[in-house]
A = this chain, B = another copy of it.
Amino acid sequence: MTVTTRRADAQRSIAAILTAAAECLGRDPAASTSEIAKAAGVGRVTLYGHFPSRAELVDAVFVQAIATGEETLGQVDLTGDPRDALTRLIESSWHLVDQYRALLLAAQDALPPGRVRELHADPMARVERLLERGRAENVFRTDLPTSWLVSVMHNVMHGAASEIQAGRITSDQAAPYITATLLAAFAPPKAE
Contacts and interface: CB of A to CB of B under 8 A. Distances in A.
A172 to B, nearest CB: 14
Contacts of A151: 159-160, 162-163, 168
Overall SS of chain A's interface: helix
Count the copies: 2
A141 to B, nearest CB: 7
Nearest to A29: B109
Interface residues of A, number: 30
Interface stretch (A37-45, A67-75, A96-104, A180-188): A180-188
B144 A181 contact: yes
Given A148-B169, A152-B159, A156-B155, A143 B180 contact: yes
Interface string A112-156: 000001000000000000000000000001011101100110111
B184 A163 contact: no
A57 to B, nearest CB: 21
8 contacts: A144-B177, A145-B169, A148-B177, A152-B159, A155-B158, A181-B185, A184-B184, A184-B189
Top 3 A-B pairs ranked by shortest CB distance? Answer: A155-B159, A185-B185, A155-B155
